Structure 1
Amino acid sequence: MVHVLRLGGWDPLQALGSGWRLRAVPEDCEPVEFFHPAGDDLASSFGIYHPLSLRWHRPGDDAEAHEQLVAALADGIVPVVAVDNYHLPFRPAYHDVHAGHLLMVTGYDPGSRAYRVLDPMPPAYRGPLPREVLERSRSSANPDDGSDPFFAGSGPARRWLEVRREGPQPELTWSWLRTALETNVRSLRGAEGDGLPALAAYFDSLPAAVAAEGAAPLLRTYRIGWPAQAEAGLHARFLAEAARRLGRFRLAEAGRAVELVSHSWTGVRISAAHGEENPGEAARQVVEHGRTLLRGYEAALHAVESALDRP
């Protein structure tokens, strides 16, 4: 979404980083890189304070999928399409590892029957891709063949994300930002049914879940940590930039505290990722790291609250 918003003239750091949410962990954590606990309701976690529409489309076959992309491009939309890396020649996983991934379609040439695509993920690629190759990647079953324990087993199903700007981006003012930060704090404290209480309850229940199900809850923990860690890091960067632009340097201190939250997710995710041989011990380690993480969240919220009243 960063590149799509930038192409539209928006500051993606403000659009995606001004909000900070933590959703309750769903039972079904889809094994794809782009999993998010918000599911189809991505607008509740991204672009929260912006006129931004985020909508998944699920065409039924290759022909409909192609027609939707061409129509979106004609409407000025840059589709973000779900793919299986196994079928993409520019991905290191080509003909080696099945893994769900996202890339952007920026154009289509009917003469050469090739899309123009942009994949910012290293090694990064910008250029043509034959229509049949993209269709093969989008319709792949993405089988769980053991090559990727985290992001295989759920096909792209030809889905694509429509990112539509429905108005101008709000100006970054202290009044606007203060309201956003106050709302973030309320949400993370659990005012909307998610947030830290839900995460604490998840960690409390993890040992029993692992005892009953084996390593499966640990893989789920790894997947939920992926977006949560990234969102904390993005919010930290936004606070640092807002501090510079608005001259409110306690925001930079708050940003550092939020950055530590992002770092604290690493222990949770790595312990969960390597828990298959001894799930019980891994669950113990995850819970221990989880308690550190929760303390980090509380410290970050305190830092944000302190920045609300003092520049």
Structure 2
Amino acid sequence: MPIRPAFGDVHAAHLMVVWGFDDEAREVYLLESTPPQYTGPVGLEDFMRARASVNESRPHTRDYFFADSSIRGRWIDVTMGEFPVVDREWVAQVVTANTRGFTAPGTGPGWAGLTGLESWLTRVCERAANVDEAGTALAELYTVGWAAQAATALHGDFLREVGNRFGCDALVYAGRSVDRLASQWTPLRILGAHGSAGGQSVAEQLWERSLRFVADHRNAVRQLESAATALLR
């Protein structure tokens, strides 16, 4: 997209919101939330070229995570339903349900909740120490962490906002702990993106960071459990 600062250099698929068209000017109006944020028109030809990009592999100049992953003109239709009333009771219910998902995720393949997070990170670290599996394991860490980091940051913002709205300090502090988890995803993902040639040193760093990451998750969940109770006092 010509509005991007790395236009003609970096090529990656990400989401933007299209909110209008000007048929006479042959322009598309969109919201590009990835910094630097842009809201406004883009030429229709540029837009269609980007949506149909084949994203071919150029091993010597391309980030291998995105090579050969064409965008194929995909889009998502979004329909907004009725939003619930954001009161203390509703927030407490949501927080309680989320913490239960971490501490008692129910039946499944064993990858859910805090136990699943710890098991998965342990497995990634073990594979990262194996030269034959390191590249695949670290690429998996990078990819999985992408969505998890975004969701964690969004939840941290929400918790701080409603905590301030209701004067619930416990919820604000819990939101800060969740925000810390979002920040901790960054070094893990960087190790995943660029650590495949680092061998044993990368695996050791992953172990140390993963242990702290899981411990901080458990602390954040405990804070959220206390905050849900404080909301209803």
TM-score with structure 2 length normalisation? 0.86
Q: Does 1:122 align with 2:35?
A: yes
Q: Give the share of equivalent positions with the same residue, in percent.
A: 34
Q: Does 1:137 align with 2:50?
A: yes
Q: Does 1:198 align with 2:111?
A: no
Q: Could you tell me which residue of structure 1 aligns to residue 169 of structure 2?
A: 249
Q: Could you tell me which residue of structure 2 aligns to residue 53 of structure 1?
A: none
Amino acid across the alignment from 1:172: V
Q: Could you tell me which residue of structure 2 aligns to residue 181 of structure 1?
A: 95
Separation in structure 1 between the aligned mates of residue 22 and residue 187 of structure 2, nearest angstrom: 46
Separation in structure 2 between the aligned mates of residue 298 and residue 173 of structure 1, nearest angstrom: 26
Amino acid across the alignment from 1:104: V
Confirm or deny: 8 A CA contact 2:124 2:141 kept in the other structure: no
Separation in structure 2 between the aligned mates of residue 308 and residue 104 of structure 1, nearest angstrom: 34
Separation in structure 2 between the aligned mates of residue 180 and residue 267 of structure 1, nearest angstrom: 29
The structure that is strand-richer by fraction is: 1
Q: How many residues align?
A: 223
1:62-121 Cα distance to aligned partner (Å, 9 max, x none): xxxxxxxxxxxxxxxxxxxxxxxxxx1111221222211222211122223322222132
- The structure-2 alpha-carbon separation of the partners of 1:283 and 1:143, relative to structure 1 and needing over 3 Å to count, comes to farther
- The correspondence of residues 74-223 of structure 1 with structure 2, limited to 5 A, is 88-146=1-59, 147-167=62-82, 169-192=83-106, 193=108, 194-210=112-128, 211=130, 212-223=132-143
SS at match of 2:78: strand
Q: Does 1:265 align with 2:185?
A: yes
- The structure-2 alpha-carbon separation of the partners of 1:235 and 1:278, relative to structure 1 and needing over 3 Å to count, comes to same
SS at match of 2:76: strand
Amino acid across the alignment from 1:166: G
SS at match of 1:107: strand
Confirm or deny: 8 A CA contact 2:31 2:40 kept in the other structure: yes
Confirm or deny: 8 A CA contact 1:118 1:127 kept in the other structure: yes
Confirm or deny: 8 A CA contact 1:272 1:283 kept in the other structure: no
- Structure 2 residue runs of 5 or longer lacking an equivalent are none
RMSD across aligned C-alpha pairs, in angstroms? Answer: 2.0
TM-score with structure 1 length normalisation? 0.66
- The correspondence of residues 285-304 of structure 1 with structure 2, limited to 5 A, is 285-304=205-224
Q: Does 1:310 align with 2:225?
A: no
- The structure-2 alpha-carbon separation of the partners of 1:267 and 1:131, relative to structure 1 and needing over 3 Å to count, comes to closer
Q: Could you tell me which residue of structure 2 aligns to residue 236 of structure 1?
A: 156
Q: Could you tell me which residue of structure 2 aligns to residue 279 of structure 1?
A: 199
Alpha-carbon shift at residue 250 of structure 1 (Å):
1.2
Alpha-carbon shift at residue 208 of structure 1 (Å):
4.2
Separation in structure 2 between the aligned mates of residue 263 and residue 117 of structure 1, nearest angstrom: 28
Separation in structure 2 between the aligned mates of residue 98 and residue 263 of structure 1, nearest angstrom: 24
- The structure-2 alpha-carbon separation of the partners of 1:207 and 1:166, relative to structure 1 and needing over 3 Å to count, comes to closer
Alignment match of 2:144 (pick from 224, 235, 255): 224
Q: Which has the higher contact order (CA 8 A, sep 6+)?
A: 1
